[in-house]
Structure 1
Amino acid sequence: MPTIHYILKDGSRRSVDAKAGSSVMENAIRGNIRGIDAECGGSCSCATCHVYVDDAFIDRLPPPDEVEGELLDGVASERQPGSRLSCQLAMTAELDGLTVRVPETQS
């Protein structure tokens, strides 16, 4: 079972074991990770599940599609090279240890 490491706004770190195929957002909700609001429930329409993916994992992820890219243009916190919507990141064994940082705000 792959593990996701979430770095929270206060700098603390929480780890959640993820089922393969589940999204980083789903695991954040299940693990009660504060700061990932996921208002649309994972339908890629609100951008309130924005995270910053650690540089070591960016190349292991498929690039954002057009819809995700457009939503990332309007995120509340600054868009950075590692910005992704956690609802669009499906966990795989290759992503074991994935580290994401929760931005300061989602709205």
Structure 2
Amino acid sequence: MPALTFVQATGERKIVEALVGESAMHAARRNLVPGIVADCGGELACATCHVVVDERWLSALTPRSASEDEMLECTAEVPTSCSRLACQVRISLELEGLILHIPRSQK
């Protein structure tokens, strides 16, 4: 199982194990990561699982879809080029060590 690191705005880190094929959002919720609310349950219908991918990992992810770009415009913080919705980040073995930052507004 790949390990993911979620980093709070305070710098606090939580390392969780993710199942291959699940979303980063589901891994976060299963492991009670603060700040990942996921109101829609991963249906790409809210923006409460906004994360900022550590820049060195961005190229390892599939590109954002137009629908994800649209939803990112609804986040509490202005999205960056590294912003993703955790529900749209599918975990693979290649993502072992992925680092995801949780925006300050998602406490």
- What TM-score results when the alignment is normalised by the length of structure 1? 0.95
User: Tell me, what secondary structure is at the counterpart of 1:25?
Assistant: helix
One-letter code aligned to 2:63 = P
- Displacement, 1:47? 0.7
Could you tell me whether the CA contact under 8 Å between 1:21 and 1:92 is conserved in 2?
yes
In the alignment, structure 1 residue 16 sits paired with structure 2 residue 5: no
Deviations 1:19-74 (A, max 9, x none): 10011000110111101110000000001000000011100111111110101122
One-letter code aligned to 2:3 = T
Q: Which residue of 2 aligns with 1:32?
A: 32
- What TM-score results when the alignment is normalised by the length of structure 2? 0.95
In the alignment, structure 1 residue 96 sits paired with structure 2 residue 96: yes
- Displacement, 1:9? 2.5
**Runs of at least 4 residues off by over 4 Å:** none
RMSD: 1.3
- Displacement, 1:12? 0.4
**Partner Cα distance (2:103, 2:71) in 1:** 15
In the alignment, structure 1 residue 68 sits paired with structure 2 residue 68: yes
**Partner Cα distance (2:57, 2:75) in 1:** 21
Q: What is the count of residue pairs matched by the alignment? A: 107
**Partner Cα distance (1:80, 1:65) in 2:** 15
